[in-house]
Amino acid sequence: MKHLTILIPAYNEEDVLPALLERLERVIAFIPKYTFDYLFVNDGSTDRTLEVLKELSHQYDKIRYIDLSRNFGKETAMLAGFDYAKGDAVVVLDADLQQPPEFIHEMIHWWEKGYDDVYAVRATREGESRLKEWTSKTYYKLIQKMTADKVYPLAGDFRLLDRKCIEALKQLRENERYTKGMYGWIGFRKKEMTYHADSRAAGETKWKWSSLFKLAVDGLTSYSTVPLKIWSYIGIVISFMSFVFLAYEIGKTLLYGTDVAGYPTLLAAILFLGGIQLISLGVMGEYLGRVFIETKGRPPYFIREQSEEPVMSEKPIELDRKKDTLDDVD
Ligand code: UDP
Ligand code: MG
């Protein structure tokens, strides 16, 4: 019998957990051909998420959890989940029930047909501001223009991943993670399905505009090197324009003489160029920052505790990255 892990990153989700489990149980009751476990990654919640999970695990024996040592963010929490997931396939699900678990059924259907990555694309999103929707649409359009890799806009983390994909994703151990880009990058056979996103069942979204901005920048800088290269083109265009302008000014002075005028143009030119230079420096800083963080080679997360009995009898996968590199040196 094949085993499926439902991977649920959870950060301050105490309110929604009982409803989530009830709904999951109902869905899974209709899928008798598989065994399941619910792997919660408690991402350093400051509320009673972990306690609630422990209480609920008396009622639902499918619950397993790992408790991260602090809040690492959803991207890293998912990596932790991939590391510990046992299933022949893993379904990544948000805790807040915005993604209807009923779709797991259809995902399994396509998985059985031989697809490795069945991802759900959201058609609408209830209870979300127009502005947020527009921003995310424009952002994905922009990102697609800047990279040769195929980007799957609106495809979130709600997806079923075959063991092959999980093993691939486990090898991508960047600290600054942008998992949405990784799904595309690893390849494998993909299948798209549409769903309607609901509004949160309880609690509040953890994304602030500032963290969305950070994710957007992370996305761009980990996807594409266009922002790094574009400045040489802009520089060429601006230099050419100022050269033409200079020639024109010289000609004009030779023909008509000069007065002290031109001060505003000068100032404008200096400020404009100054701005461009600062932006390009900032862009390089973004990339350099990423290089710096990655060269430290820190493990992406730490685990404080985990559920006593893993659902399957084997031991959880140990993270042995240090050892691997040492062996390579010998
Ligand atoms: N999440 C997490 N760590 C964080 C922020 C969020 O594990 O630092 C989890 C959260 O518990 C939820 C999922 O990621 O299960 C999506 O978060 P949220 O619903 O707040 O994001 P949104 O749906 O608004 O994009
Ligand atoms: Mg949500």
Band of residue 321 on the pLDDT scale cut at 50, 70, 90: very low
Ligand 1: which of 206, 212, 301 to mutate, judged by most atoms within 8 Å of the beta carbon? 206
Residues 295 and 218: their CA atoms lie apart, in Å, by: 17
How many A from CA of 98 to the centre of ligand 2? 6
Question: Is 73's C-beta closer than 6 angstroms to any atom of ligand 1?
Answer: yes
User: Structure tokens of 61?
Assistant: 């024996």
Residue nearest to atom 19 of ligand 1 (CA): 205
Question: Is 180's C-beta closer than 6 angstroms to any atom of ligand 1?
Answer: no
pLDDT tens sequence across 208-219: 677 777 777 777
Sequence-ordered list of residues with C-beta below 8 angstroms from that of 27, at least 6 positions apart, any chain: 101, 102, 104, 105
CA distances from 142 to 153, 157, 173, 182, 215 (A): 10, 20, 26, 17, 14
For the ranges 110-124, 181-195, 280-294, 306-320, the lowest mean pLDDT is seen at 306-320
Question: Is 157's C-beta closer than 6 angstroms to any atom of ligand 1?
Answer: no
Ligand 1: which of 52, 65, 94 to mutate, judged by most atoms within 8 Å of the beta carbon? 94
pLDDT tens sequence across 109-122: 999 999 999 988 87
Residues 29 and 214: their CA atoms lie apart, in Å, by: 40
Band of residue 288 on the pLDDT scale cut at 50, 70, 90: confident
pLDDT tens sequence across 23-46: 999 998 888 889 999 999 999 999
